[in-house]
Amino acid sequence: MSSAVYYVTFKSHKLTKKVNDMIKVIVSNTINQPHDKVFSYISNFENNPKWQGGMVEARFTSDGPIGVGSTYEQVATFLGKEILTTFKVVEYEENHKIKIESIKSTFPITVTRVVEPLDGETKVTAIVEGDASNVFKIAQPFMKLMVKQSVKSDYKKLKKQLETG
């Protein structure tokens, strides 16, 4: 039996007399595939355009196996804007967890993907944190909802892709 859990938090942080609206979205879903297969697929960021809406292109910019320090670039569109981002892997536990942070972007973001075996299936959790105040200031009140819907849709598509081949 598959289940999905979705959480969204919206926080305001005061930084040097300026308020930045931070978005945090947590999405969990189960996938009827072995956890190592799920992890291998979602930690290879070149697969992102296959299952993430708005993703145009993703390619590694570092050599070797994926691990802490690996980098990749991606091109995506969101709300009609092209977003160019360079990411760096900042945490890596093979077949369990990968965390990336944008190091060059118009939309600062951190994404954590966690994979866990669960009763013969795999629980996959995404934690997406970002600050859209510089790029999408006008749409700021709606950003958390848009990000939640986007991530929720992406992980449904991921589930379908991995379960149906």
Q: How many Cβ atoms from other residues are within 10 Å of residue 61's Cβ?
A: 11
pTM of structure: 0.82
Q: How far apart are the first and last CA of the chain?
A: 18
Res. 123: pLDDT tops 50: yes
Comparing 12 with 136, the larger pLDDT belongs to 136
pLDDT interval class at 127 (50, 70, 90): very high
Give the model's confidence band at 136: pLDDT under 50 very low, under 70 low, under 90 confident, else very high.
low
Domain ranges for the chain, please list them: 4-164
Q: What integer pLDDT is reported at residue 87 of this predicted model?
A: 97
- Mean of per-residue pLDDT scores for the chain: 83
The answer to whether residue 139 scores a pLDDT higher than 90 is no
**pLDDT, position 12:** 37
Residue 18 has pLDDT above 60, yes or no: no
For residues 78-91, average pLDDT: 88
**pLDDT surpassing 60 at residue 10:** no
Q: What is the pLDDT of residue 20?
A: 47
* Confidence at 107, pLDDT banded by 50, 70, 90: confident
> What is the distance between the alpha carbons of residues 12 and 100, in angstroms, rounded to a whole number?
22
Residue 161: both structure tokens together: 């892709």
Which CATH architecture best describes the domain 4-164?
A: 2-Layer Sandwich (3.30)
Q: Report the pLDDT value the prediction gives residue 86, as an integer from 0 to 100.
A: 96
Residues 98 and 91: beta-carbon distance below 8 Å? yes
Distance in angstroms (rounded) separating the CA atoms of residues 99 and 84: 19
3-state helix, strand, coil in the chain (%, to 5): 25, 50, 25
- pLDDT bin (cut points 50, 70, 90) of residue 81 is confident
| Cα dist from 87 to 5, 57, 58, 84, 124, whole Å | 26, 13, 10, 10, 21
